[in-house]
Each structure stands twice: as C-alpha cells, then as structure tokens.
Amino acid sequence: MTKEERLKKRHNSEKRFRFYGLASIFVALLFVLILVNNIFSKGSSAFMKTAINVEVFFDPELLDIKNGSTLDEIQEADFYDLTIETLLKSYPAKNLDEENELIDLFTTDAEIEIKNAFIKNNNLIGKKINLEITASDDIDQLHKGNYPRDLPEDRRRISNFQLKIYDNFVVDKKIIKNFNNYFFSNGDSRDPELAGIGGALVGSFYSILICLLLSFPVAVLASIYLEEFAPKNKITDFIEININNLAAVPSIVYGLLALQILLATIQLPRSTPLVAGITLALMTLPRIIIPCRASLKAVPPSIREGALAVGASKFQSVFHHVVPLALPGTLSGTIIGLAQALGETAPLILIGMVAFVVDIPSTPIDPSASLPVQVYLWSESAERGFVEKTSATIMMLLSFLIVMNFVAVYLRQKFEKRWN
C-alpha cells in the first residue's frame, strides 16, 4: 500500500468516525424529542379542567344557617340537600335512574365547592348565583377528546342519556375549561378530577431539603479531610475505593438499609419525608464527595504554597484559599447529586412512601408521597384520567431536573477559574 493510499484510508476513517458521532447524537436527540412529545401531548391537558356552569339558589329552607354566619358555622352546616337540588335543576330528569346519571356528571366534591362559594360571600341566603362546578372525570376526558363516544353504550362508562345532557350543555355553552388549580393544591385522590401533586410536591421538597442539610456538610468536610489532611496510606486508599464503590451501588440497596436501620431498629415514622431525606442523603453522599474532591484537586499547588509562604497555617490555607476556589465545582456536583436524588423511586418505595396519602404534609414527620412515587402510583391506576395526570407529573419532575442541572452548569461557568 502506497503512502497516498494509506493517507486516503486514514482520512476516510476520520470522516466515518465524525459521521458516526453525528449520527449517534442525532439518534439520541430524536428519541428525546419523541419522548418529550409523547409526554407533553398526553400531559398538557391535565393543567386544564372541565367545569359545568349551574345556577345555585341558596334556599333558606334547605340550609340551617343564615347570612353573616361565622366560618365554623358554615363548615359545620350541611349543604348536601342544596347540592342535590342544584344539580337536578341543571337538566330535566324523568326518573330516579336519570337523576343518578345526571348527578354523576359532576364531581363528588360538588357540595364542597358550593360551600366554598358561600364561605367567600356569607350573605347569599335567598339569592341566586352562577357557579362553575367541576365535572366528573368521564365528562372531563370526553370534553378533552380523550374519551371515545362512538363505542356501544354497554362498553362506555357514559350512557346515551349522559351524552345527550353533555351535548345540550355544550350547545348552551355551560361547559367551560378552566385552569386546573386542583392539580397543584390537592393531594392524591381516588377521583382523577380531584387528584393533585400538592402532597407529593411538598413531600419531595422536605425530602430534598433534609437530604441537602445532611449530605452537603458531611460530604464537603469528608472531601477536605481526605484530600488535604488525611495521610496517604492503605486505610485512606481503602476508604477512597469504597466511596467510589458506594457511588455505583444501586439505589434500592440504600432503601433496604433504611428499612432495616431507620424503620425496624430506630423505628422512625414510616412513609415520611424525614426517613426519605436520610435515605437519599446516604445515597447522595458519595456522589457529592467525588466531584468535591476533584474540585479540590484541580486547585493548583501554587495557591497552597503561596498561602503557606505568607505565614498562613495549613488550616487557613485550605479553608481561606483552596475551598473557596473549589466551591463552584462542589456546588455543581451537589446540585446534580440532588437532582438524581429527586428522581429516585426504588428506595422510597421500600420505606413505605407508596401509601395513599390525601393530606398535604405540614411537617417532615407527616406521611406523604413524592413526585416519582406519585408517577408510579398513578401509572398503575386503571382510570383514564390518571394517564394525563401521570404525564403532567413527569413534566413537572423533568422541569425541576432541567432547572437544577441548568443552575449547576451556570454556577460552574460563572465562578470557575481557568488555570493556565
């Protein structure tokens, strides 16, 4: 083979390598776009809810309260009869079956929504108002185009009579789409139209906050000691090797550890952000130590030597000069570690965070769910309305992860110093 032929062969191989590299990036981006499009197309509708505009007459004969009642009196009052009468007046029904089908078009929390309207204005006795009451999940999915209405009646959860009522409401412009505030303010629910991520959002916040408070100082101090003060011997090498090994351990192992120690031995409350935060902190520790040590190692020895030359102690040279210069890499590594912890599901399932929790936790020791666990729970539900809720929760989780990774990159690029 001549020199020209070898040179041509080398150039061709370089061109193929560049082509394969660009092709792999293109394929990866294509799959990411397909995934994002699939999630957004299914989940974007969850941020809107369907409501039905009805006329509510606060009949004094059906209520045992009067104008100007206190909040406690209104909360204790029974609005059930008023709610049933209001719903039945929205469309004429001929018999009991049709009345039940008419009531099923509205959410099971219709009484609470009417009561909340009276709480906002406690002088409505004897008056009429127009109120937008949340529709049931079936009507919500039908109005969003996610429910097939061309199936035979025996294969639909919506009867022909309910379809007739729905069409009548659409013609009368009583069907309204509003922003779904329930999705952000409510906890979990068996009814898809009432289910929200409020509890999971607060639970994830508490868990990540506890994880940060526990893992960051311990990881930073451990990194400083191992990199700057620890003697170089077999014990230090053994510790470093095991830190690297712990970073590669599957997350479910940390869930088993927390299950045995935190729940079985110490007997901390199950399914709480406190236990979740401690578990995630154990998992995140080695993932913070490794980038923190790399940041400390990247600081040039001249910084240490210069500090020692002007009379600083070893402690002062490390904490006054080396650590501040290594902080950008440490922060970015910490944020990326927390972003990974935010998306963990397996260890949280093992500590019991798959429980059905309706209330939003007020403290870290209250039972709660988390965003990835909420995705897991809703993805197993057979209700059609939970499909869009699952995709919308994934969208929220991805948004948090993207923001956290963006902050990590920004901090590194803004504060990192280039050493020539």
Q: Are 342 and 208 in contact (CB under 8 A)?
A: yes
What six digits make up the tokens of 295? 């940041």
pLDDT at 419: 59
What is the dihedral sign for C-alpha 150, 154, 157, 161?
positive
pTM: 0.86
Structural domains in the chain (count): 2
- Residue 69 structural domain: 45-180
- Sequence-distant (6+) residues with CB within 8 A of 78 are 63, 64
Domain endpoint, select from 180, 210, 225: 180
Q: Are residues 123 and 245 in the same domain?
A: no
**Predicted confidence (pLDDT) per residue in 266-316, tens digit:** 989 888 999 999 999 999 999 999 999 988 888 888 888 888 888 888 888
CA distance 137 to 194: 9
CA distance 280 to 267: 18
Q: Is residue 420 included in any domain, yes or no?
A: no
Q: Is residue 79 included in any domain, yes or no?
A: yes
Q: Are residues 363 and 327 in the same domain?
A: yes
Q: Are residues 103 and 219 in the same domain?
A: no
Domain endpoint, select from 180, 210, 226: 180
Q: Are residues 120 and 261 in the same domain?
A: no
Q: Are residues 314 and 407 in the same domain?
A: yes
Q: Are residues 49 and 164 in the same domain?
A: yes
Amino acid (one-letter) located at 73: E
Q: Are residues 261 and 365 in the same domain?
A: yes
Q: Is residue 36 included in any domain, yes or no?
A: no
CA distance 47 to 388: 9
Q: Is residue 308 included in any domain, yes or no?
A: yes
Q: Are residues 265 and 311 in the same domain?
A: yes
Q: Is residue 21 included in any domain, yes or no?
A: no
What CATH number is attached to the domain comprising 326?
Answer: 1.10.3720.10
DSSP annotation string for 168-193: HHHHTT-EEEEE-THHHH----SSTT
Q: Are residues 146 and 246 in the same domain?
A: no
What six digits make up the tokens of 53? 């505009």
CA distance 176 to 201: 27
pLDDT at 418: 66
Q: Which of 179, 108, 185 minimizes the C-alpha distance to 358?
A: 185
Q: Which of 156, 146, 125, 113 minimizes the C-alpha distance to 43?
A: 146
pLDDT in 10s for each residue of the chain, 420 residues: 677 878 888 888 888 999 999 999 999 999 989 988 988 888 888 899 999 999 999 988 888 888 888 888 888 888 888 999 999 988 888 888 888 999 999 998 999 999 999 988 888 888 889 999 999 998 998 888 888 888 888 888 888 898 999 999 999 899 999 899 999 988 888 888 899 999 999 999 999 999 999 999 999 999 999 988 888 888 888 988 898 888 888 888 998 999 899 888 898 988 899 999 999 999 999 999 999 998 888 888 888 888 888 888 888 888 888 888 888 888 888 888 888 888 888 888 888 888 788 888 889 999 988 889 899 889 888 788 888 899 999 998 888 888 888 888 887 777 766 655
Domain endpoint, select from 146, 180, 214: 180
Taking 3-state DSSP, the helix, strand and coil percentages for the chain, each rounded to the nearest 5, stand at: 65, 5, 30
Q: Are 110 and 98 in contact (CB under 8 A)?
A: no
Q: Which of 391, 393, 384 minimizes the C-alpha distance to 138?
A: 384
Q: Are residues 205 and 130 in the same domain?
A: no
Q: Are 281 and 246 in contact (CB under 8 A)?
A: no
What is the dihedral sign for C-alpha 80, 85, 88, 89?
negative
Q: Are residues 204 and 328 in the same domain?
A: yes
Q: Are residues 302 and 384 in the same domain?
A: yes
Q: Is residue 13 included in any domain, yes or no?
A: no
